[in-house]
Amino acid sequence: KNQVEQSPQSLIILEGKNCTLQCNYTVSPFSNLRWYKQDTGRGPVSLTIMTFSENTKSNGRYTATLDADTKQSSLHITASQLSDSASYICVVSHTNAGKSTFGDGTTLTVKP
Amino acid sequence: KAGVTQTPRYLIKTRGQQVTLSCSPISGHRSVSWYQQTPGQGLQFLFEYFSETQRNKGNFPGRFSGRQFSNSRSEMNVSTLELGDSALYLCASSLVPTTDGYTFGSGTRLTVV
């Protein structure tokens, strides 16, 4: 069964600190992996998208890594800001078009 | 260009009623998918439409249905509402059914009382 597991479930950090969120998947065959940021009560917004051949992608203070051999991805947030408080969702797409598996997300809280 | 537009933003219904939610995709996008997100839960896939045809369907009861119009706008209908249907309903659009990513709307917050 295709699965996407995210850890930790929730995380609290102080403003200015760095953090790393994890995503492990069993989806196969694999097409791409995306990280989304979802503010409370809003729709998810795409942060990064990586294909099988890419192992790192940055978007400002967000850097995603991908190890397709171990089927693991991480999202690293540098110098966190209060506005980074949100849910971060990992989505892995199958090679079969239109099929994606969503992780349950990691809820990040950044405190002053 | 305008993003994905979902209406209404908020909705309160009573048990047993039915509801219709609307999604206007980004101009030129022909694929629309719907998701349910309950408090503390991940996104659950409902269905996906492309060129007015349902391509994929998630594991939801038949009370949940949808359709897509020739202009790619999509509607989702839930009949005989239950308290457990209270959720944020999200719509996402893409040019074609693709694994390259899609753009989400802000969602419709449905509360069933």
User: What pLDDT does residue B10 have?
Assistant: 96
For residue A97, pLDDT beyond 60: no
Express each pLDDT in B1-40 by its tens digit: 679 999 999 999 999 999 999 999 999 999 999 999 987 6
Express each pLDDT in A30-50 by its tens digit: 888 999 999 988 899 999 999
User: What pLDDT does residue A101 have?
Assistant: 86
User: What pLDDT does residue A77 have?
Assistant: 98
User: What pLDDT does residue A33 have?
Assistant: 92
Do residue B45 and residue A100 have CB atoms under 8 angstroms apart? yes
Contacts of B101 in chain A (CB under 8 A): 32, 34, 46, 49
Mutate to test the interface with A, among B99, B106, B111 (most CBs of A within 10 A): B99
Minimal-distance CA residue of chain A relative to B90: A43
Q: How many angstroms separate the CA of residue B40 from the nearest CA in chain A?
A: 8
Give the bridge partners for B23, in sequence order.
B6, B74
User: What pLDDT does residue B1 have?
Assistant: 62
Express each pLDDT in B40-93 by its tens digit: 678 898 999 999 999 888 889 999 999 999 999 999 999 999 999 999 999 999
Across A52-85, b (16+ Cβ under 10 Å) vs e yields eeeeebeeeebbbbbebeebebbbebeebeeebb
Task: For residue A46, give the nearest of B55, B101, B107 by CB distance.
Answer: B101
Task: For residue B42, give the nearest of A45, A93, A104 by CB distance.
Answer: A104
